Structure 1
Amino acid sequence: MQTSQAETPSPADKKSKAKRPIIDCDIHQISGLEEIKPYLPRHYREMVEAYGPAYPGGMHFNGGVGGRMADAYPEEGGRAGSDLALMQRQHLDRYNVAYGILTGEGYGMQATINYDYAAATCSAINDYTIEHWLSRDSRLRGSVMIPKQEPRLAAKEIDRVGGRADMVQVIVCNGATLPYGNRYYDPIYEACVRHNLPFTIHVGLEGEGINSPPTGAGYVTNYIETRCARPSTMAAHLASFIFEGTFERFPTLRVVLQEAGVLWLAPLLWKMDQEWKGLRVQTPWVRKRPSEYFREHVRVTTQPIDETPNRALFDALLDSIHADETLMYCSDYPHWDYDSPKQALPRLADALADRVYYDNAAELYGLPTREKEAKG
């Protein structure tokens, strides 16, 4: 269900465009150091120019060209995800993407111990995104990048730009020093609630910098190992949110699990419900079954969707996670495993497709309804 590059347009694409508007919850615009440097305070600009970025690194991607779709690189030069006009032609216009949520590129600043530098970098990314992306296409919405390793500074950045109508969520990497349900992060959730912004966990930076190892067994060698381990890290965050009582402390908080797969959530929810029955005396503040908290507070994005041995199992697992309420489409454009709306999922019933490709995200992000968008 993955494709390394955009497909050749066909008459079926045009028919699809006329039929259903789409909300894409994960588009990676370039927001690298060269782009954001003018937005950094002078002393950080000089430091970067003299000594480099000093961000924790990452593992080698194993697909595409430099981890990106080969045809997403502008013909005149530049990096994939740097050209709005190309993004519009390849993805937004072609697939009738009514709204695209920008999620940035590279979260290295969220794994450094230099908190002030991380905060300055996040502010620069946010300002650059607002000026160079959100102001140029009304379909685009932004994610507030925060220095999540220092919650007070993170909350300050949310308060600075989180009140904008074009900023629709707060975003962090999957790699962390502590599971995200820990009360250490409460200032972030207080700010999210103040501005009615979901808290989105995007895969990446597991085991990098100050972040914890990517697996319970320790560090891994290859990108494929990291990729296979990401659901376990995301599962730890989800269990932490539920059993630490985060959703009881913040009953309006919404959390998005992004780009770690989907169907593994079904047995995890069964496991958490089962364990809660026997051990809930340890966590009396968890008043509902874990699966109920998931259904009420958590959303998950499609990319990369898990492939099952048969369609019956796929449908059963979708039903187990209440996909009609919790699942949202994302493309991961322009990464090597980009999922176009045509190839992201097997054919769904129209009602479920409407929910996954538009309605669930519209409700979460406060965007116009599908019916209103189709008329407008």
Structure 2
Amino acid sequence: MSVLKSGIIDTDVHPWVNGDIKGLLPYLSQSWQKHFDGRYTLPNHALRPPLARASSNRIDEIPPNGGEPGSDPTYVSSQLLDRYNIKHAILSSIQAGKLVSLPNSNEAIALARAFNDFMINEWLTVDPRYKLAACIAVHNPIEAAKEIRRVAQNKSVVAIFMPLFNILMGNQHYHPIYDAAQECGLPIFLHPTGTEGGFSTSLQFAGGVPSTYIERHTSFPQIGMAQLNSLVFEGTFVKFPNLKVVLAEFGYSWLPHVLWRMDQNWRGFRKEIPWITEEPSQIVLDKVRLTSQPVEEPNKNKYLMQIFEMIQAEKTLMFSTDYPHWDNDFPDHTFTSIPEELKQRIFHDTAAEFFSLD
């Protein structure tokens, strides 16, 4: 049963490539096929979900013909898009996000291109409701910018999935990426990759290394806070005024206190960053959007509505399922007690405007 008659936009769906690198071989050159011969799996973080098969995916979503959950685009269409009246589903490959764990930049560049070609040819052609957040290898910004301009020629590519390296996003290292994304009118899409704190090239958590999966998972909002701070105070949105950013699966309840602290410090120390001429909170509200999953719902609806008021949820929040992960949020059980006008914004309108859909 659908939540909205107008349809829903799901801003975070995770497709899967069976066989990992082996499944990408048809999209790699012969020389790269020889390079990866016998080495067909991207590395996994040591701290995995304590579930069956140590997988983050729902085992009840395994396709009828086998393979990993989320690996059959036709099955996902029936299980997710048809069932919940999903008008558009934005695909972001967590597998591709693991490329930040590779110290070899040439490997990451080749695999990012192969992941994108796989998704374009084997997903976008199956159902027009699928849209893609194409992945880039942030190791080499010049090559990443070339890849952005290449995939942008496909109108079903609506964002650029930028796996997070161990360099904060405001750093000039990324400027070629932002220049290309702005030129092509594509938002930057951020999402946890499962590599955080586990590899020398991936970003680290504040305070030290978590010792359990639950610690790692609970600490994800730290990442969103740190990247937001860096983007705003380094002047990224001043240098690239048309750049837009999505924080997917980092939560949203932390945003009010971060905005308050940013504004307070800006008033006290703005001499240090004279290029920021308006309140940081306004920059964030204009340029940044967050996704709903995992839903952070207080035990009283009035508290949720207070959070929504503080973050201007009608403007900043977009619905996502996180399908097919074990903790996904389906639309008929998400934000069931909020006003219909706000629901329309969160489940459809904001994403339609932000990603230039419809």
- Given the two structures, how large is their TM-score scaled by the length of structure 2? 0.94
- Please name the residue that 1:100 is paired with: 89
- Please name the residue that 2:182 is paired with: 193
Q: What secondary structure is seen at the aligned counterpart in 2 of 1:345?
A: coil
Deviation (angstroms), 1:314: 1.1
The correspondence for 1:44, drawn from 32, 43, 59, is 32
**Number of equivalent positions:** 353
Deviation (angstroms), 1:180: 0.6
- Please name the residue that 2:153 is paired with: 163
Deviation (angstroms), 1:322: 0.8
Superposed CA deviations along residues 316-364 of structure 1, whole A, max 9, x for unmatched, are 1111111101100010010101110012324221111111000000001
- Please name the residue that 2:218 is paired with: 228
Counterparts in 2 of 1:212 and 1:111: CA distance versus 1, 3 Å:
closer
- Please name the residue that 2:266 is paired with: 276
Contact 1:213–1:219 (CA<8 Å) still a contact in 2?
A: no
The correspondence for 2:312, drawn from 322, 328, 338, is 322
- Which residue identity does 1:356 align to in structure 2? I
Contact 1:81–1:87 (CA<8 Å) still a contact in 2?
A: yes
**Does 1:22 find its partner at 2:22?**
no
> Within 1, Cα distance between the matches of 2:22 and 2:13?
19
Identity across matched positions, percent: 34
> Within 2, Cα distance between the matches of 1:64 and 1:139?
31
Deviation (angstroms), 1:279: 0.9
Counterparts in 2 of 1:68 and 1:54: CA distance versus 1, 3 Å:
closer
Deviation (angstroms), 1:217: 1.4
Counterparts in 2 of 1:64 and 1:314: CA distance versus 1, 3 Å:
farther
> Within 1, Cα distance between the matches of 2:295 and 2:347?
14
Once the two structures are superposed, the pairs formed by residues 40-79 of structure 1 within 5 Å of their partners are 40-53=28-41, 55=43, 57=45, 59-63=47-51, 66-79=55-68
Structure 1: where are the runs of 5+ without partners? 1-12, 369-376
- Given the two structures, how large is their TM-score scaled by the length of structure 1? 0.90
Counterparts in 2 of 1:64 and 1:260: CA distance versus 1, 3 Å:
farther
Q: RCO greater where, 1 or 2, for CA within 8 Å and sep 6 or more? A: 1
Counterparts in 2 of 1:64 and 1:56: CA distance versus 1, 3 Å:
closer
Q: CA RMSD in A?
A: 1.6
> Within 2, Cα distance between the matches of 1:90 and 1:43?
38
The correspondence for 2:337, drawn from 347, 358, 370, is 347
Contact 2:77–2:127 (CA<8 Å) still a contact in 1?
A: no
Superposed CA deviations along residues 235-275 of structure 1, whole A, max 9, x for unmatched, are 00000000000000011100000001111111111111111
> Within 1, Cα distance between the matches of 2:74 and 2:339?
33
Superposed CA deviations along residues 172-217 of structure 1, whole A, max 9, x for unmatched, are 23x4211111111000000001100000110122123333553221
Once the two structures are superposed, the pairs formed by residues 159-308 of structure 1 within 5 Å of their partners are 159-173=149-163, 175-204=164-193, 205-212=195-202, 214-308=204-298
Q: What secondary structure is seen at the aligned counterpart in 2 of 1:136?
A: coil
Contact 1:56–1:209 (CA<8 Å) still a contact in 2?
A: no
> Within 2, Cα distance between the matches of 1:120 and 1:99?
28
Contact 2:88–2:129 (CA<8 Å) still a contact in 1?
A: yes
**Does 1:134 find its partner at 2:124?**
yes
- Please name the residue that 2:141 is paired with: 151
Contact 1:301–1:328 (CA<8 Å) still a contact in 2?
A: yes
- Please name the residue that 2:348 is paired with: 358
Superposed CA deviations along residues 87-136 of structure 1, whole A, max 9, x for unmatched, are 12211001110111011132221222211110000000010111100011
Deviation (angstroms), 1:56: 5.8
